[in-house]
Amino acid sequence: MRLPLLAVCLSLLALVLLPRAGQAQARYTLTGFIRSGADKSVLPGASVAVPALGTGATADSTGQYALTLPAGRHQLVISFIGYQSQTRELNLTHNQRLSFSLPESRNELGEVTVVGSGTLEQKLQTPQMSVEHLTTREAKLLPALFGEVDLLKTLQLKPGVQNGGEGTGGLYVRGGSADQNLFLLDDAVVYNPSHLFGLFSVFNPDAVQSVDLYKGGFPAQYGGRLSSVVDVKLREGDPQKYSVSGGLGLISSRLTLEGPIVKDKGAFIVSGRRTYFDVFTRQINKLNKNTEDYSPIPDYYFSDFNAKANYKLGAKDQLFLTGYYGRDVFGFNSTNGFNFDFSWGNTVGSLRWNHVFSPKLFVNTTVSATRYQYSIANKLDQFAFSLSSDIQDYAVRTDFEYAPDDRHVFKAGATATSHLFGVGRLQAGSQDGSLNIGSDVQYHGQEASLYAADNFKATDKLQLEYGLRLTGFRSGSDWFGGLEPRASARYSLTPKTSLKASYAQMYQYVHLVTNSGASLPTDIWYPSRLNVKPQRSQQVATGVSFLLLGGQYLLTNEVYYKWARNQVDFRDGAQLFANADLDAEFLFGKGWSYGNELYLEKKTGRTTGWVGYTLAWTQRNFQPQRGTTGINNGKDFFPTYDRRHNLTVVVLHQLTERLNLTGSFVYTSGAPTTLPAGRFQLQDIFGAGDQLGGNPVPIYPDRNTYRLAPYHRLDLGVVYKLKPRHGESDLTFSVYNAYNRRNPYFVYFDQVKDKATDQVTSYRARQVSLFPVIPSVTYNFKF
Amino acid sequence: MFVATLLKRWIGLSLLLGAAGCNLQKDIDVDLPAVPSQLVTECYLRPGEIPRLTVSETTPYLSTAQPTLLTDVTVTLTLPNGQQQKLQFRPGLDRLTQKIYTHIGQRALVARPGDTFTLDVQDSKGRHVTGTATMPALVPLDTVEWKFNDKTGEQRKAYVLTKFRDPAATADFYRLQIHKDSISVDSERDFTLDDRLTNGTQMTLGTSYRFSANDTLLITLYHLDEPYYRFLQSVDDARNANGNPFAQPAAIRSTVQGGVGVFTVLSSDRRTIIVK
């Protein structure tokens, strides 16, 4: 099986590298960027069409398009939802570079400024399936928790994507766990996409242009995680004029500055935000400093900073520089000698060089560095304790795209990454030197990949995208490798009906070490090693799409099945910190998930939005191993993110030119959880513990056999555009959980005591909810 | 591990307090799976002490809080020399330890490090629990010292440092307790730890500035066998998982077979100091 696949890979590479002289005569290629006329940001997914020939091209993730046409006169239609379409006449006599700027259509009542990528027609025609495209403009209109616009939470409203709990931004895609998502920020990996234990994402909406989420049918240029790719592109800044924008919200403020470096040659954008919980909590602490038995509230804030610059070196070369720095900071200083400082965050940088060899061939080469770290410093009188962990990557990647004619678009590229896994650095000591403990566990890893793919229009009805990715990983003397075939196809049954299918195999060589049900900042990344094999998955999906009611609606139904091997978990009581033999704590199992996703979307008109319904199953199995009984005694179990039914309804309505109304509704089946079925009393040894009747010890039955109550929530929003003297501004009102549903966050068992005797008389189950109805208002401005 | 546990507990506690403050908690009915009731044994043998054992049974979590006294359980302790000793069913309260027991032996136990004991517990329903425990070597306390801060009056407090030498050849597990005035009350400090990062070195454990002048402190160092240490960990993890959405439920790692509970031989060293 593997040799033929390798042959295909090499053939594809050869196709890219070999000249294809026979097809160039009397056909020329048009290339360039499609940008927003407002801020000159690129518009991935925008299209250039030639209606007379029934052909066209779509801008890629960098905003570039390539379209090969016969020589002669053509009428081009350039369009993108939310922008005014343009028509251009062109006499094509040679290969040519031509870029377009589309004015926004925000003042046209007929087209609401909301939307996803490309037109529904394009979604129908592309062989790529299982992908969701989201723009910041779309997310900003939707109601949000505390008014904080969050792209990842908006993605959770798409079919096939589950959240990890009330209010959290973790993504669980088609039965994959939260660590199986590849987060890319301008091609650099982001290891922890969360602030505040997952309640907010690290992606500042003011700096982000768009997000693509791939749930399956992964293009060959992506790899490294099993379940999804979240490809975030930052805005590039306005190359013509300076502007300042920002917002004031309930819990944070944002400020963005952008403008030309050299007019029409280069631009920059810098954007920052910071929460101000700590400003209030410090005041509260100050007011209560003389209150007896008052426990000060710990300081907490997060901040992040994004910057991006681009510069045209010439007609064929352009540089893009991206930087991100974010930190969560948590501090507690008590008057009785106990100090606790905890900080964590990502630092990311990338430099991309775009070079156009010819109108048919261009290349993007990116060098990037990323680091996620946390550090804890703890001091109690004369004792001090510190713990830190990090992962650092230095990576280089190059991606070629070659469009020899209007039937083929070849892509090929390579990546190489050097990882440094700082698994744990621990230091504990006392001032007098009588205690001094240290531990430092580090591993190096090297990861590389090579890929090639072809997007091939076989006939007017059949379009294929197939490719192969070869990956390898080395840690010390341990080597791993894998072939990852990728394929997707679209067959047009009628002009308004498409059938699609895809297959993808994925390898994941890095693993998140966590024994928590949710992502915590102290989770650490760990390399594949001799006793920790790479994770692997295969996914098949098939779907059908219908364009309905004159192209206003797209109805898509997709069915998927995913197999996963070497899924990781950890033995009970595992020592996950500063453990030089962490390999021994891993448990390995298999997983499988399957489901059906129904998706109806509307992108034009005053009322837009979507309805998604997912019916899905996700299961895991960890057999007895390594001296343990496995997990759940080797029986199949549902992970906590398994949900049988998931319904989302999102509606955006432009009432007037200045007033947008939005609403979203979510219904999800109850989450599996484990509740103690039994209990026993433990007195403990002489001088410790309770007598009978004290705190019982819970006995847990099979894992995740209890289901919490279903989750449902309605959010409402209003965006009202103000009329300031300068620039533009709006007020965004949000009501999170509008009908104040007490959704279950978790359930615990509590003692019931007799008030007179303080004796425990019985026990009860208590359900805890996290967020009641939360109204918020945010003021946004730009001038 | 400590940090993660601390973090998870802090978050869990914050959520509980926050939810309680905002009226975001409510009683619910849950339908728990029926699990068969198991015998629970708790037996800590100590050299020079008459063996005592407590037998109870697991109950459905939401059942009544009143414990059921099991009257049909026979307990046999096998000594290192093979001699069997029946522990009599004679429920009572040990006045010294303030612990309830259901079965008691007749003679004080003779035990030396390396001695292995066997426990056999059976009831009339056919439930049968067995266990084996070997007495760990004694690890003596090398040093117990204290130091006052430079404050005066009620603010003048002392910390306590305890030091002992960890054997290099073995993986070792410890529990250190510090009691004030009497060992019959709950401890001021209770640490459990292993020697994973400190194997073969002098180990130092200390407190914050918390003791006043003339406090009488009893410092006890237990050298634990690994099964008992793992049992304690699993009990802690299981308790922590109830009410904390970030914690994974943990199975109890009993040191006995056929039921739930612990059977171990305690090996301890104790110092009494008066902080001056």
Chain B closest-CA separation from residue A764 CA (Å): 6
CB A159 within 8 A of CB A118: no
When mean pLDDT is compared across A220-224, A334-338, A730-734, B191-195, the lowest value belongs to: A334-338
Tokens of A341: 């400082």
Instruction: Give the pLDDT band (50/70/90) at residue B260.
Output: very high
Burial A320-331 (b: 16+ CB within 10 A, else e): bebbbebbbebe
Vertex A293: Cα angle to A289 and A297 (nearest 5): 55
CA atoms of A710 and A665, how far apart (whole Å): 13
CATH class belonging to A120-233: mainly beta
Give residue B7's pLDDT.
Answer: 53
Give the pLDDT score at B10.
Answer: 52
Tokens, residue B39: 């015998």
Better pLDDT: B182 or A466: A466
For domain A26-102, which architecture applies?
Sandwich (2.60)
Closest Cα in chain B, distance from residue A130 (Å): 31
Is any Cβ of chain B less than 8 angstroms from the Cβ of A332?
A: no
pLDDT digits (tens, 9 = 90+) for B206-249: 888 889 989 999 999 999 999 999 999 999 989 988 877 777 78
Which chain B positions have a beta carbon within 8 Å of A674's beta carbon? 241, 249
What pLDDT sits at residue A716?
93
> How far from each other are the two terminal CA atoms of chain A, in whole angstroms?
60
How many whole angstroms separate alpha carbon B244 and alpha carbon A516?
10
Comparing alpha-carbon positions, the chain A residue that sits nearest to B253 is A572
Q: What is the largest CA-CA distance in chain A?
A: 97
Query: What is the per-residue pLDDT for A213?
Result: 93
Structure tokens at A541: 């999906």
Outline where chain B has alpha helix (H): 2-21, 226-241
Mean pLDDT for A773-780 is 91
Identify whether the C-beta of residue A41 lies closer than 8 Å to the C-beta of residue A236: yes
Q: Hey, CA dihedral for B47, B48, B50, B52, is it positive or negative?
A: negative
Please judge whether A516 and B222 are an interchain contact, meaning their C-beta atoms are less than 8 angstroms apart.
no
Q: Cα separation of A111 and A691, whole Å?
A: 71
Q: How far from chain centre, in Å, is Cα A742? A: 27
Is A440 in the B-facing interface, judged by CB distances under 8 Å? no
Can you read off the two tokens belonging to residue A191? Answer: 């290891």
Q: Could you tell me which chain B residue has the CA closest to the CA of A708?
A: B30
pLDDT surpasses 70 at A20: no
Q: Is B99 on the interface with A (CB under 8 A)?
A: yes
Q: What is the pLDDT of residue A115?
A: 36
Query: Under a CB-based contact definition with an 8 Å cutoff, are residues A285 and A297 in contact?
Result: yes
* Integer Cα distance of A391 and A371 in angstroms: 6
| Burial tier of A355 (Cβ tally within 10 Å: 0-12, 13-18, 19+) | middle
DSSP conformation class of A21 = G
Residues above pLDDT 90, as percent of chain B? 57
Q: Does B102 touch chain A (CB under 8 A)?
A: no
Within 8 A of A767 by CB-CB distance, chain B residues are 25-28
User: How far is A574 from B237, CA to CA, in rounded Å?
Assistant: 11
Nearest CA among A350, A348, A352, A355 for reference residue A320: A352
Question: Is the minimum CB–CB distance between A479 and chain B shorter than 8 Å?
Answer: no
Distance between CA atoms of residues A561 and A85, nearest Å:
39
| Distance (Å, whole) CA A652 – CA A655 | 9
The total of other beta-carbon atoms located within 10 Å of residue A220's CB is 27
Query: Among residues 236-275 of chain B, which lie with CB inside 8 Å of chain A?
Result: 237-239, 241-253, 260-262, 266
Write out chain A residues lying below 8 Å of B195, CB-based. none
Return all residues near A197 (Cβ < 8 A) that are at least 6 apart: A168, A518, A519, A520, A521, B11
Closest to A130 in 3D by CA, of A355, A465, A534, A406: A465
How many other β-carbons are positioned within 10 Å of the β-carbon of residue A336? 10
Confidence of residue A278 (pLDDT cuts 50, 70, 90): confident
pLDDT > 50? residue A737? yes
- Could you tell me the sign of the dihedral formed by the alpha carbons of A180, A181, A185, A190, in that order? negative
Q: CB-CB: which of B28, B239, B248 is closest to A767? A: B28
pLDDT of residue A117: 45
Q: What pLDDT does A589 receive?
A: 94
CA distance A481 to A443: 18
Question: Given strand B128-134, what is the order of strands in its sheet?
Answer: B256-257, B128-134, B116-123, B73-78, B84-94, B99-104, B52-57, B39-45, B260-265
* Better-scored residue on pLDDT, A149 or A289: A149
Residue B121: pLDDT above 50? yes
Q: For residue A374, give both structure tokens.
A: 């946390």
Q: Which of residues 82-111 of A touch B (CB under 8 A)?
A: none
Confidence of residue A14 (pLDDT cuts 50, 70, 90): very low
Give the span between the Cα atoms of B46 and B266, in whole angstroms: 5
Lowest mean pLDDT among A13-17, A32-36, A269-273: A13-17
Q: pLDDT-derived band of residue B89, with 50, 70 and 90 as boundaries?
A: very high
Least confident of A189-198, A217-226, B159-168: A189-198
d(CA A266, CA A63): 16
Per-residue confidence (pLDDT) for residue B254, from 0 to 100: 96
Beta strand pairing status for A228-234 and A181-185?
A: parallel
Which helix H or strand E contains A362, and what residues bound it? strand A361-380
| CA–CA distance, A388 with A521 (Å, rounded to integer) | 11
B37-135 and B141-225+267-274 share one CATH topology? yes
Minimum mean pLDDT among A120-129, B120-129, B207-216: which range? A120-129
Contacts of B67 in chain A (CB under 8 A): 681, 692-693
Rounded Cα distance between A263 and A217, Å, is 40
Minimum distance, in Å, between the CA of residue A292 and any CA atom of chain B: 16
Scanning A106-250, the segments in alpha helix (DSSP H) are 120-125, 136-141, 151-155
What average pLDDT does chain B have? 88
Min Cα distance B145 → chain A (Å) is: 11
Which of the two residues, A771 and A368, has the higher pLDDT score? Answer: A368
Helix, strand, or coil here: A604?
coil
What SS3 state is found at A6?
helix
Whether A216 shows a pLDDT value over 90: the answer reads: yes
pLDDT in tens, A637-687: 999 899 999 999 999 999 998 999 999 999 999 999 889 999 999 998 887
For chain B, give every domain's residue range: 37-135, 141-225+267-274
Residue A361 CA to residue A355 CA, distance in Å, equals 9
pLDDT at res. A259: 92
Express each pLDDT in A326-382 by its tens digit.
999 988 877 666 788 899 999 999 999 999 898 889 999 999 999 999 998 888 777
Q: Positive or negative CA dihedral for A64, A66, A71, A74?
A: negative
Cβ pair A430:B206 closer than 8 A:
yes
Residues A101-124, mean pLDDT to the nearest whole number:
57
Query: In a 10 Å sphere around its CB, with 0-12 CB exposed, 13-18 middle and 19+ buried, how is residue A411 labelled?
Result: buried
What 3-state class would DSSP assign to A283? Answer: helix
Nearest by CB to A518, from B149, B190, B246: name it.
B246
Mean pLDDT of chain A: 86
- For A581, the closest chain B residue by CA position comes to B196
Q: Which two tokens stand for residue A267?
A: 């631009």
The Cβ-side half-sphere exposure at A544, using a 13 Å CA radius, reads 5
Strands (DSSP E) along B135-172, which ranges?
Answer: 141-148, 158-165
| Residue-wise pLDDT tens digits, A1-12 | 343 444 444 444
- pLDDT of A232 over the 90 cut: yes
Q: Is the pLDDT of residue A564 over 70?
A: yes
- Residue pointed to by tokens 């945010």: A778
Cβ proximity of A308 and A237 under 8 Å: yes
CB atoms inside a 10 Å sphere around CB A294: 12
Q: How far apart are CA B254 and CA B252, in angstroms?
A: 6
| Contact call for residues A624 and A635 (beta carbons, < 8 A) | no
Residue A482 has pLDDT above 90, yes or no: yes
Q: Do B238 and A697 touch (CB under 8 A)?
A: yes
Q: In A197-283, at which residue ranges do the beta strands (DSSP E only) sit?
A: 200-201, 208-214, 228-234, 243-248, 252-262, 266-275
User: Three-state SS for A320?
Assistant: strand
pLDDT of residue A215: 94
CA distance B67 to chain A (A): 8
Is the model's pLDDT at A33 over the cut of 90?
Answer: no
**Domain B141-225+267-274 belongs to what topology?**
Immunoglobulin-like (2.60.40)
What is residue A112's predicted lDDT score, i.e. its pLDDT?
33
Q: Are A606 and A109 in contact (CB under 8 A)?
A: yes
Query: What is the strand order of the sheet B59-60 is part of?
Result: A697-699, A678-680, B59-60
Q: Judge whether residue B115 has pLDDT over 70.
A: yes
Exposure letters A618-632 (e unless 16+ CB within 10 A, then b): bebbbeeeeeeebbb
How high is the pLDDT of residue A516? 60
Residue labelled with tokens 């081009």: A76
Phi, psi (rounded to 5 degrees) for A317: -135, 135
Domain locations along chain A:
26-102, 120-233
CA B76 – CA A91 distance, rounded (Å)? 101
Strand B256-257 and strand A27-36: pairing? Answer: unpaired
pLDDT of residue A11: 43
Query: Domain B37-135, CATH 1.10.8 — does that match?
Result: no
Q: What is the mean pLDDT of residues A106-116?
A: 36
Q: What value of ipTM does the predicted structure carry?
A: 0.91
Task: Write the single-letter amino acid at A122.
Answer: Q
State whether the Cα torsion B230-B232-B236-B241 is positive or negative: positive
Give the mean pLDDT of A698-716.
91
Kindly report the length of chain A: 783
> Which residues 188-247 of chain B have a CB within 8 Å of chain A?
190, 196-198, 204, 206, 208-209, 220, 222, 230, 233-235, 237-239, 241-247
Is the confidence at residue A110, as pLDDT, over 70?
no
pLDDT for the residue numbered A111: 31
Report the helix count and the strand count for chain B, using DSSP H and E.
2, 18
Mean pLDDT of A539-543: 96
CA A115 centroid distance within chain = 18
What local confidence, expressed as pLDDT, does residue A434 receive? Answer: 65
pLDDT digit string, tens, across residues A666-677: 999 999 988 999
Phi, psi of A405 (to 5 degrees): -155, -170
Contact A245/A271 with Cβ under 8 angstroms?
Answer: no
Residue type present at position A19: P
Q: Which residue has the tokens 């969560």?
A: A328
